[in-house]
Structure 1
């Protein structure tokens, strides 16, 4: 807690392609893509994210993805840890159940964006949320869609509905 009653919120950004997207995208897609983004929100000492197993949390930087490529200071929230956990559990039981995960339409970035709006009233950067539609708007993206939709990103962490 940096200010009285306020808690810092950060966006952790990972490149799942480990730099390959920026090297190959222009040739493959006909447009430059700087990364294949996985995001997580860090608040109250936890990194929270959504994948095919549902909403998960870990210590910041504690996923199998290692350290984030970048960290964006999003601002401060007045939402305390208990209220935030109740909110996450509600999401985990409804819109962000594991079976609702979709690489292009309902993914970690969709989750991070919704959580940022809840905590701060603002969205995560549009270059992250716009990436799926940019890729799918290319002919090669349409060819790859069925293959990529079978991919589930699992950075490894504990599911929030299983935490005590």
Structure 2
């Protein structure tokens, strides 16, 4: 399912600044990642509503997927393994995400998906 979240007036530089701030303050750095409670869906929601200033973020049902899964018999059975994997594999070097190297002037966000030929790309104003 594709859902339009709207249009933003934020510039690419403003959004990248928000991303850096979230990493530096630890809200979305590698050490803060939690598969069940603070994952890519949470980041996408906050990026849309806070970073881009959009009125809507990720739908609630998407944000609730981990809890829905954990409330199932299979989720209850697998939860200890997931939690152990996080404790064992949580060591990503944080400087990978907080580089002070300047961003190249020609960096762009690509709106092209290679996942499926049936997915159409959304218009990306930062590609202009």
TM-score class normalised by the smaller sequence: 0.5 to 0.7
- Cα deviation, residue 90, structure 1: 0.3
- CA RMSD after TM alignment: 2.0
Highest CA radius of gyration, 1 or 2? Answer: 2
User: 2:24 matched to 1:93?
Assistant: yes
Q: Deviations over 1:2-28 (max 9, x none)?
A: xxxxxxxxxxxxxxxxxxxxxxxxxxx
Aligned length: 89
Normalising by structure 1, we get a TM-score of 0.49
CA drift at 1:147 = 1.6
1:145 counterpart residue number? 79
Deviations 1:69-120 (Å, cap 9, x if unpaired)? Answer: x543221001111111111100011201101111100000010011111220
Out of 44, 54, 64, the residue aligned to residue 112 of structure 1 is: 44
Q: Are 2:58 and 1:124 equivalent residues in the alignment?
A: yes
Q: Runs of 5+ in structure 1 lacking a partner?
A: 1-69, 153-158
Q: How far apart, CA to CA, are the structure 1 residues paired with 2:23 and 2:76?
A: 30
TM-score computed with the length of structure 2 as normaliser: 0.61
Query: Which secondary structure does the structure 1 equivalent of 2:4 belong to?
Result: strand
Structure 2: stretches of 5+ with no match in the other structure: 90-95, 104-128
Q: Which has the higher strand share?
A: 1
